[in-house]
Structure 1
Amino acid sequence: MELQKMNGHSKDDGFDAVDNMAENEEFLPHKSGVKKESRFTDFEGKTSFGMSVFNLSNAIMGSGILGLAFAMSNTGIVLFIILLISIAILSAYSIHLLLKCAGVVGIRAYEQLGNRAFGPPGKVLAACIITVHNIGAMSSYLFIVKSELPLVIQAFLSKHENTGEWFLNGNYLIIIVSVCIILPLALMRQLGYLGYTSGFSLTCMVFFLISVIYKKFNIPCPLDYEHDNMTFVDDVHNGTDDFCEAKLFTVNSQTAYTIPILAFAFVCHPEVLPIYTELKDATKKRMQTVANISVLAMFVMYLLTALFGYLTFYGGVESELLHTYSRVDALDVLVLLVRLAVLVAVTLTVPVVLFPIRRALLQILFPDKPFRWVVHIGIAFCLIFLVNLLVIFVPSIRDIFGLIGATSAPSLIFILPGIFYVRIVPTEQEPLLSRPKIQAACFAGLGFIFMVMSLSFIIIDWVTGESRSGGGH
């Protein structure tokens, strides 16, 4: 993130009366009294409110949207909606904790919150968690490009099989995409400039959502036998209606995975403070509104995608929704266009995810240095090069992603915001046993429970080996 000016600016940089007043507005109850005004010293933002919403929404939205219909099939409609609402509210509350801490510290940097809470070790810990998590996210997006783009090109060329041409080689394609699209966008000096590409990325996902809704009314259940390449057709219990019946509540061996899946679907916290930094006329209330709108928009998209995807295939939905449509008709033009739109969306999300990694590295390696293009470009190039190597040479990285996600995502959403709030907010403002701090501590404890649950699921998968075959990502 372009917060390189963070420690080098003078006290009067980027201040105004509105900012000072609004940064003192509180979202949680606290004892009344005179408070010390927060003064931000890092950056004067120029990104509009709308662009900030696009960037944060794009940061929230990930490839996990393709697995939500499968999650609904393992919980039932009502239980899924309850869980989705709960996670969305918790995510918005987590962002509130970060913004409140930023107001106390006087600087909008995740790493600086760690430094204020636990000193240099806290700063390094926050930077490492952000770096590891976002490298995993970037790699997962490029894995989608590696696996899906050759199939899309193959379909457009009406080829029935991959005949080995270089333009059907996923490794070559991710290098081309990284050099021609991702790297130029990652070289932008400010994240706000990516608001346009983020808006286009979101438009692609809206097209995906509209297509999912449309397909609900065009795919029969059980499927016609002309579509009998769907594996679950044979499992329809003699054509009974039970298979094509929506379940409101259901519990099975996969149900326990739903909470981590939904929690990870709302991870955007490394991007929150950088977006806050570049927001024009930035105040805590204004940024909280950006976050609330973004979370609400993604909640609606997630819910509709999961609901209509599930109501299309019911018990036959796979863990990767697009793959399920492809098995109905691999040459369906609409499905092909949707796959292309998803590819565009995940590709344009990679630069947004890269910015917080660069910001974290700048905080650790060059904390007091002025902006330098050489460093800015060098970090972006090295990160993209590293991610390309991971995607090309690691044949199956699902377990690594799972391990990263099970530790970093709960840390970023729950644990770090909770403990930062308890440690950073002054006791004279909110005593240790005040309701806001008790809530924050419980919030961090909830994240620890999520982490233990997620790691337990991964270990069970490792132990049971092939006994669980979910497919997909």
Structure 2
Amino acid sequence: MELTMREPRMNGLVPRGHPESEQSQAELAGFLPQPPPGKKAVQFSDFEGKTSLGMSMFNLSNAIMGSGILGLAYAMANTGILLFLALLLCMALLSAYSIHLLLTCAGFVGIRAYEELGRRAFGTYGKVAAAGVICLHNIGAMSSYLYIIKSELPLVIGTFLDSKATDSSWFLDGNVLIILVSIGIILPLALMRHLGYLGYTSGLSLTCMVFFLASVIYKKFSIQCPLTVGNSSLGPAKGLNDTCEVQFFTINSQTAYTIPILAFAFVCHPEVLPIYTELRRPSQRRMQAVANMSIGAMFLMYGLTATFGYLTFFGSVEAEMLHMYSQTDLLILCVRLAVLMAVTLTVPVVLFPIRRAIQQLLFPTKAFSWARHITIALGLLTLVNVLVIFVPNIRDIFGVIGATSAPSLIFILPSIFYIRIIPRDQESLASRPKIQAATFATLGIVIMAMSLGFIFTDWAVTGQSKGAGH
């Protein structure tokens, strides 16, 4: 294996025109050695990648987009338009760079599993750490999605039924509804063997969020100042900014939460390598293109949603923007349905990396088993449902998860993997790429320490966390 690491062709260092250059490019395109003459080349150990570039972009975009999009206008209200957009752009570029580090490491050693990169870099401890961070982050993300279903679906059903139901009706019980949704919709999708097949549901999920964005833009021009919420006869809602003053730069006690919120909003790294594995004609350039297009699309969607949401409600926008609109508004009712559909269809995509991490830790040499595949999915969904149902206040848990897992997955792990995996005789510790990676990891540690510091300070001062989830 050490010889493989030092083979120039595996690192793409053979100069152009060298007699081995063409062969090295062919090997790099698939990561695996070429088969004997007369045999068909395969890209993976058990199947060939069949997911198109566009479908892979849908999957990765859906993995990036999360429930945090509902809180971006709130983040903008606490930073100002220009500062928020600058931070959003920086986070998008840094996320693309961290994916570049991951893909470079994967291409060098021929590994397409986040956990196995950890093992290659730091042995068993690295593998366990990577798998643990992935599981922690994605379980938190799945929980946030099911919390949205728990809180929003009863409102939607109640609006449709109007006065025909009471609050005690079982079909208005959020706990019952998340169990039904988990069994009837999420579980069948989570039992699919390959992530690529979820590209169609990912496309539908993204379509729902585009509809949400269009509605936010439309409502900006239909809600006039002074702002009113719900029944206009009630007058301006309490606490709304009657002057509708736009802030371009602002600093307050909540500004420090913006960077962790944005970091959490761009986390997709556990899904990158599984999507790469199922990409048709996989190569580092093609997968980086998928990542760049997905991040670019989400940057545009995040920026527009935050801007128009903020310009509708200004400094009084709530952390979950949908709560600012009337519950009887027909368009907003449709938006709620679209958001519910989007988060429901995202849960299976987020579940795949957790199951893969568990399999890498507990069954690394075992062949695929439907019994194990189903059991892990059932166990994960049961755990998340229990968390959502029985934990009375999970906001503090989400705050800690967001402050620890997001910087780890975006900044710290890809950087230290790169520094350890790329040999020193190819790139010394004093080389520009490794200095950049070390700086990147340091930035992640600073963001983590800052986020945890402000969260703990909030707990000490106010007794509650104001952190946001993905």
**Same-fold status (TM-score > 0.5):** yes
Q: Is the 8 A contact 1:131 1:360 kept in 2?
A: yes
Q: Is the 8 A contact 1:88 1:266 kept in 2?
A: yes
- TM superposition shift of 1:284: 0.2
- TM superposition shift of 1:231: 2.0
- TM superposition shift of 1:102: 0.2
CA distance in 2, matches of 1:280, 1:118: 30
- TM superposition shift of 1:160: 9.0
CA distance in 2, matches of 1:168, 1:388: 17
Q: Provide, for residues 117-166 of structure 1, a one-character-per-residue CA deviation record: whole Å limited to 9, x for no partner.
A: 00011011101110111111101100110111001100111139842110
- TM superposition shift of 1:358: 0.4
Q: Provide, for residues 280-315 of structure 1, a one-character-per-residue CA deviation record: whole Å limited to 9, x for no partner.
A: 100000000000000000000000000000111111
Q: What amino acid does structure 1 have at the position aligned with 2:100?
A: H
Q: What amino acid does structure 2 have at the position aligned with 1:90?
A: L
Matched, 1:108 2:112: yes
Residues 33-52 of structure 1: matches in 2 within 5 Å?
38=28, 39-40=31-32, 42-43=44-45, 44-52=48-56
- TM superposition shift of 1:428: 2.0
Q: Is the 8 A contact 2:81 2:249 kept in 1?
A: yes
Task: Report what 1:152 is aligned to.
Answer: 156
1:465 to 448, 462, 467: 462
| 1:364/1:159 CA distance change after superposition, 3 Å | same
Q: Provide, for residues 15-68 of structure 1, a one-character-per-residue CA deviation record: whole Å limited to 9, x for no partner.
A: xxxxx99x8568xxxxx9999865337443111111100000000000000011
CA distance in 1, matches of 2:119, 2:225: 56
| 1:467/1:141 CA distance change after superposition, 3 Å | closer
Residues 38-77 of structure 1: matches in 2 within 5 Å?
38=28, 39-40=31-32, 42-43=44-45, 44-77=48-81
Q: What amino acid does structure 2 have at the position aligned with 1:344?
A: M
Residues 58-457 of structure 1: matches in 2 within 5 Å?
58-159=62-163, 162-224=166-228, 226-228=233-235, 230-233=237-240, 236=241, 243-325=243-325, 329-457=326-454
Partner SS state of residue 315, structure 2: helix
Q: Provide, for residues 411-434 of structure 1, a one-character-per-residue CA deviation record: whole Å limited to 9, x for no partner.
A: 000000000000001222211110
Partner SS state of residue 425, structure 2: coil
- TM superposition shift of 1:465: 2.2
The normalised TM-score by structure 2 is 0.89
Q: Is the 8 A contact 1:83 1:259 kept in 2?
A: yes
| 1:170/1:279 CA distance change after superposition, 3 Å | same
Task: Report what 1:17 is aligned to.
Answer: none
Q: What amino acid does structure 2 have at the position aligned with 1:226?
A: S
Q: What amino acid does structure 1 have at the position aligned with 2:369?
A: R
Q: Is the 8 A contact 1:54 1:198 kept in 2?
A: yes
Partner SS state of residue 428, structure 2: coil
Residues 21-32 of structure 1: matches in 2 within 5 Å?
none
Q: Provide, for residues 388-444 of structure 1, a one-character-per-residue CA deviation record: whole Å limited to 9, x for no partner.
A: 111111111110111111111110000000000000012222111100000001001
Q: Provide, for residues 239-285 of structure 1, a one-character-per-residue CA deviation record: whole Å limited to 9, x for no partner.
A: 5xxx3121111111111111111111000000000000000100000
CA distance in 2, matches of 1:115, 1:80: 37
- TM superposition shift of 1:466: 5.0
C-alpha root-mean-square deviation of aligned residues, in Å?
2.3
Partner SS state of residue 223, structure 1: coil
| 1:469/1:183 CA distance change after superposition, 3 Å | closer
Q: What amino acid does structure 1 have at the position aligned with 2:364?
A: P
CA distance in 2, matches of 1:24, 1:286: 17
Partner SS state of residue 279, structure 1: coil
Q: Provide, for residues 170-214 of structure 1, a one-character-per-residue CA deviation record: whole Å limited to 9, x for no partner.
A: 011000000000000000000000000000000000000000000
Q: What amino acid does structure 1 have at the position aligned with 2:259?
A: I
Q: Is the 8 A contact 1:134 1:357 kept in 2?
A: yes
CA distance in 2, matches of 1:196, 1:189: 15
Q: What amino acid does structure 1 have at the position aligned with 2:131?
A: A
Q: Is the 8 A contact 2:208 2:338 kept in 1?
A: yes
- TM superposition shift of 1:107: 1.4
Q: Is the 8 A contact 1:318 1:471 kept in 2?
A: no
| 1:472/1:444 CA distance change after superposition, 3 Å | closer
Partner SS state of residue 239, structure 2: helix
Partner SS state of residue 119, structure 1: helix
The normalised TM-score by structure 1 is 0.89
Q: What amino acid does structure 2 have at the position aligned with 1:458?
A: I
Q: What amino acid does structure 2 have at the position aligned with 1:232?
A: G
- TM superposition shift of 1:230: 2.1
| 1:467/1:135 CA distance change after superposition, 3 Å | closer
Partner SS state of residue 387, structure 2: helix
Partner SS state of residue 163, structure 2: coil
Q: What amino acid does structure 2 have at the position aligned with 1:71?
A: A
CA distance in 2, matches of 1:349, 1:251: 34
Q: State the identity %.
A: 67
| 1:321/1:422 CA distance change after superposition, 3 Å | same
